[in-house]
Amino acid sequence: MKTIFTHSLKTLAVGLALAAPAHSALATGLAHTYVSGTGNDSNAGDRTTPCATFQAALANTLPGGVITALDAGDYGPVNITQAVTIDGSGTQASIVTESTTAISINAAASDTIILRGLAITNVPNGDPCNGVELDSGNMIVDGCKISGYLGPCNGIYVHHDGNTVVINTSVTGCGEGVFKDRPGAGLLSLRNVTLQGNGLGLDAEGTQTDISHSQITQNSGYGVYAYRGTLSVSGCMISGNGTGVYSDDGSVVRLINNDILNNTTGIFIIDASNGGTPGIVSSTGSNRKAGNATPGGVSPGKVIVQQ
């Protein structure tokens, strides 16, 4: 009996020893990590030993965790593959790129990535890139400033069926301010956003999109553009653009209580002459148009609905 008992204890001890490394692996990482302009990427990333870049901090952060910037600094491009919050609120945390995508997101379909209080700036050299690119997962962009992604580049590029929310954010001086080109169930929602000085302000293709209480100004091409999707625009200032509102093939644009002012063309609705489906603009009658060189409206083959 004693021999059996002693053997059992030895077996248990060996089992625990073998299990220990697996337990330690599961515990690797921190729920909350930090970056600092004086940090070092060889650090663990806790508050007293912060990392120097978002990428290094992310490697030390558990899925669903938070990365906080402690002070101003350029924290470099980051490729995100898990749920995480990156928070630079109040610190002038930035990512400065040279024709390189600043934030790439390739996370699980159930993951949500939150980007808050970041200044994302590009020094262009002609190569295509994006400020923020979502290829999989869900995303919230809150209180960010994105600029300089010119030509073939986009401030925010959504290439996925997940949900995206953009709030309290400005996108300026980009090829396209916000571009979603992925048809599917995912929603794109923008509120209190400034889209200024871009080639195209909002490009919503094949998707359900809404934008409200936003400034859409001085974009050389279109202020808001819809293609084979539904775009709802409410409480916005749409001014000084090439075309304020463009409803392209198979799209429905709903206009509610907007000011459409001083654009080269106020509203343009594609007809069916190219063999496609006419665009539709549905207005509640509460919108105000003035100062547009070509006001826009109905022409043969186009559809506009007053409700």
Distance CA 117, CA 249 (A): 36
**pTM of the predicted protein model:** 0.88
**Phi, psi (deg, nearest 5) at residue 135:** -105, -20
State whether residue 57 is helix, strand or coil: helix
Distance CA 113, CA 93 (A): 17
Q: What pLDDT is stored for residue 305 in this prediction?
A: 63
Q: In which band, very low, low, confident or very high, does the pLDDT at 24 lie, cut at 50, 70 and 90? A: very low
Q: In which band, very low, low, confident or very high, does the pLDDT at 151 lie, cut at 50, 70 and 90? A: confident
**Digit-coded pLDDT (tens) for 60-112:** 999 999 999 999 999 999 999 999 999 999 999 999 999 799 999 999 999 99
22 or 213: which leads in pLDDT: 213
Q: Which two tokens stand for residue 235?
A: 């409480």
- What CATH code would you report for 82-296? 2.160.20.10
Q: What pLDDT is stored for residue 194 in this prediction?
A: 98
How close are the terminal C-alpha atoms of the chain, in Å? 89
CA 50, distance to chain mean position in Å, is 26
User: 272: which residues sit within 8 A by CB, 6+ positions away?
Assistant: 278, 301
